[in-house]
Amino acid sequence: MVDLNALSAANAKRWLKAKPTRKAEAAKIALRLHKAKPRYQAVELETGVPWPAIAVIHERESSQDWRASLAQGDPWNHVSVHVPAGRGPFESWEAAAIDALVKCPPFLARHKDWSTAAALTALETYNGIGYAARGVPSPYLWSGTNQYRAGKYVRDGVYDPGKVDLQLGCAALIIALMEIDQEISFAGTKSARKPAADDATGPSLTNPSKGSIGAFVINLIRAIFGRK
């Protein structure tokens, strides 16, 4: 039995230590994902799942193929055959994505805590907790960072410790997305990542200058949702 609180604590530590190892590749993919931000935000509006999480799942499950369901990469206009099987057909990619997040395990739309550690753990559970059960970093999260070297489930129940996951992980992609879009945050707070030496330190939407319009907007949002 995997202790999800312990997993969240482990992912939080890994996040603070994570450094991209395939930065140029991650930046290229992140730019492609970011261009589709409005589509991901439309699904966020219906599910409550932050759009960057939806975007990186889309990349992991189908390399951002808009013909493929967010749930498992099967065509969304047909009944799915892979787990979760029997879903669809749907009228659009968005409809299939909403179904995947609302009606399919691990039911990400039910998650209320989207702080960094909780978000990473939610993403890991979307792929499965087999890696956590082994006490190893999940490539679904950490491939493309210094937190992952090797180890991959090559098929259901079969783990190869020497196999390297060639896809970039969700954490690597989120780091790259954050470098493109300073508005990205979880639960209305700034990321817990320590800024790199070349990170911008000036004001942004999530860290606006005092008295600016950005500060007014942030304070208004906090007042509406009761966040301090």
Of 112, 139, 160, the position where a domain reaches its end is 160
What CA–CA distance (Å, rounded) separates 148 from 213?
41
Claim to verify: residue 103 and residue 49 sit in the same structural domain: yes
The predicted-structure confidence for 216-225, as pLDDT tens digits, reads as follows 444 444 444 3
Total structural domains within the chain: 2
* pLDDT value of residue 155: 86
**3-state secondary structure labels for all residues of the chain:** CCCHHHHHHHHHHHHHHCCECCHHHHHHHHHHHHHCHHHHHHHHHHHCCCHHHHHHHHHHHHCCCCCECCCCCCECCCCCCCCCCCCCCCCCHHHHHHHHHHHCCCCHHHCCCCCHHHHHHHHHHHHCCHHHHHCCCCHHHHCCECCCCCCEEEECCEEECCCCCCCCCHHHHHHHHHHHCCCCCECCECCCCCCCCCCCCCCCCCCCCCCCHHHHHHHHHHHHHCCC
Claim to verify: residue 67 and residue 156 sit in the same structural domain: yes
Claim to verify: residue 154 and residue 209 sit in the same structural domain: no
Claim to verify: residue 156 and residue 213 sit in the same structural domain: no
Claim to verify: residue 136 and residue 207 sit in the same structural domain: no
The predicted-structure confidence for 123-173, as pLDDT tens digits, reads as follows 999 999 999 999 999 999 999 999 999 999 998 889 999 999 999 999 999
Claim to verify: residue 31 and residue 82 sit in the same structural domain: yes
Domain that holds residue 216: 195-225
The predicted-structure confidence for 121-133, as pLDDT tens digits, reads as follows 999 999 999 999 9
Claim to verify: residue 210 and residue 143 sit in the same structural domain: no
Cα 166 to its chain centre, rounded Å, is 17
Residue 186 within a domain: no
Q: Which residues pair with 153 in a beta bridge?
A: 159
Whole-model pTM above 0.95? no
* pLDDT value of residue 156: 82
Of 160, 175, 204, the position where a domain reaches its end is 160
Residue 103 within a domain: yes
Claim to verify: residue 21 and residue 124 sit in the same structural domain: yes
The predicted-structure confidence for 181-228, as pLDDT tens digits, reads as follows 989 987 544 434 444 444 443 443 334 444 444 444 444 444 443 433
Claim to verify: residue 206 and residue 110 sit in the same structural domain: no
Residue 180 within a domain: no
